[in-house]
Amino acid sequence: MVKREAVLFDLDNTLYDYEAPHKKALAAAFSELKKTIKISKVKFNYLFKISKAEIKRELSGTASAHNRVLYFQRLIEKTHNTVNPTIILKLYDAYWNSFLKNVKPFRETLRTLKEIKKKGLGIAIVSDMTTHIQLKKLKKLGISKYVDFLITSEESGSEKPNSIMFLLALNKLKTSPDGAIMVGDNTVADIEGANSVGLFSVLIKKGPLAKKHKEDYQKPNATIKKISEVLSILDELE
């Protein structure tokens, strides 16, 4: 058996809870918009939802599909029937300032990453998002000192499960698929992608996808409920 040299992690809902800071961030953006127009929270949430869906559909497979500034631009175009740079940027800043203020790693994340580094293994984050924001998350989560490389869909030009993101991470870590494992919460993006290149795939049942996993479709090599269980898997693979 090939010795494991690295661990690839998804970021959102794998190493931290995305949903809680996202809800607070949306509330902050709503409060900012209320300063300029009369709008209910229900209508704001609805407009954000459909604006996000439109951008994701139009830019599917690209990092831009996750860019909040595009979501808010589309939302303001719907409320004001024109572009308004000042308001759009205020909503964007309000969202991310709140998000980054409230983001926290899962309780076992820091210890797990520390133990992985003690084993002499490399760590890479493989994430569908823009690099600028994911770098900020790494800093706010306090995990940047454990992460060797960050690979985003913005850098690779394609989103997971496209193999290019995983192969780029392996290339940076100077290892092969046999020498690494991939940990993520999404059976399509993370598990299908990992399986396609021959990585040992680990599904973590966290976040909103926890009850929606279709393991019969993309079966992981292992399933865990908390990130610290990765350490036991690494021990078993030695």
DSSP state of 63: G
Which of helix, strand or coil describes residue 109?
A: helix
DSSP character for 124?
E
Contact 126, 182 (CB under 8 A): yes
Output the DSSP codes for 193-211.
HHHHHTPEEEEE--GGGTT
Q: Which residue stretches of the chain are H helix?
A: 19-33, 41-58, 68-80, 85-102, 109-118, 131-141, 153-156, 163-173, 193-197, 229-237
Q: Enter the DSSP assignment of 157.
A: S
Q: Tokens 């021959």 identify what position? A: 198
Strand ordering across the sheet containing 222-224: 149-152, 122-127, 6-9, 180-184, 200-204, 222-224
At 162, the amino acid letter reads N
> Annotated active-site positions, please?
10, 12
